[in-house]
Amino acid sequence: MEMENPIRKEIEALVEAGNLRGLLDKAGELHGHLCNYLSYGVIAGYVAVRELGVKSTGMEKVIAIVETNNCFSDGIQMVTGCSFGNNALIYRDFGKTAVTVAKRDGTAMRIALDPDFEDSREKDYPEAYELWNKIVARREKATQEEHKRLMKLFEKMSINELNKPVDKIFRIKRMKIAMPEYAPIFASVRCSICGENIMETKARVKDGKPVCRDCAEGAHYVLDGSGISAKDT
């Protein structure tokens, strides 16, 4: 029996009830809008936690390895409880709408958006995609009305997509994976230049004193809209 986790009881209850619509609304609180890729993340997260029989306590008992930084990942984070901040979310910068959810014993499933299904979306929702291409992809000027219409169309699409058969939306593979170690806990040291505390393992040494990477090199890795890259500060 899984332990009750009162912190996530609302989400656990929605999973228990198979209430995808409710889960989509919860994911929307994090994501800021409803869209079809958020729905796919919600469904994938739901399928994984149901099949693996896992509940998150935010302690890396269950992990999710996402392969994209698009809307899909927010559905995954909300439903599985594997997040950026609790170290249970691992990001592989492949640019694929896919996730592998795994338990501590390595039992896992990879759920990837089916390419034929994905490519056929535009045909099913022509108006939504036409507006999206105009306003989001080409960043063309749009009226308030068009913006509102876009949000409305995507909201409707996201809700409608919840009813599609799971085996049409995804390619699903069950597997065993080698689990990563629990995230290690490190002491902090103080940067001798800016005076801020840094995780010990991230510190550099300059003139025999610890400094942060920012002060030492003026460079850092960043996850932004384009994925992970090295950037100058």
Residue 24 CB, shortest distance to Zn ion, in Å, is: 11
Tokens of 185: 């806990």
Instruction: Report the residue number, 70 or 107, with the smaller CB distance to Zn ion.
Output: 70
Residue 131 CB, shortest distance to Zn ion, in Å, is: 14
Residue 229 CB, shortest distance to Zn ion, in Å, is: 21
Residue 104 CB, shortest distance to Zn ion, in Å, is: 31
Residue 188: left if φ>0, alpha if ψ -120 to 50, beta else—which one? beta
Residues forming contacts to Zn ion in the complex (CB under 5 A) are 35, 38, 71, 191, 193-194, 212, 215
Instruction: Report the residue number, 90 or 193, with the smaller CB distance to Zn ion.
Output: 193
Instruction: Report the residue number, 71 or 111, with the smaller CB distance to Zn ion.
Output: 71
DSSP the chain: -PPP-GGGHHHHHHHHHT-HHHHHHHHHHHHSS--HHHHHHHHHHHHHHHHHT----SSSSEEEEES--STHHHHHHHHH---TTTT-EEE-----SEEEEEETTSEEEEEEE-HHHHHTHHHHSHHHHHHHIIIIIS-----HHHHHHHHHHHHHHHHHHTTS-HHHHEEEEEEE-PPPPPPPP--EEE-TTT--EEEGGG-EEETTEEE-HHHHHSEEEEEETTEEEEEE-
Instruction: Report the residue number, 71 or 82, with the smaller CB distance to Zn ion.
Output: 71
Instruction: Report the residue number, 49 or 191, with the smaller CB distance to Zn ion.
Output: 191
Residue 217 CB, shortest distance to Zn ion, in Å, is: 11
Instruction: Report the residue number, 182 or 186, with the smaller CB distance to Zn ion.
Output: 186
Residue 25 CB, shortest distance to Zn ion, in Å, is: 14
Instruction: Report the residue number, 106 or 188, with the smaller CB distance to Zn ion.
Output: 188
Residue 105 CB, shortest distance to Zn ion, in Å, is: 33
C-alpha 47/C-alpha 7 separation (Å) is: 21
Among 53, 168, 44, smallest CA distance to 96 is for 44
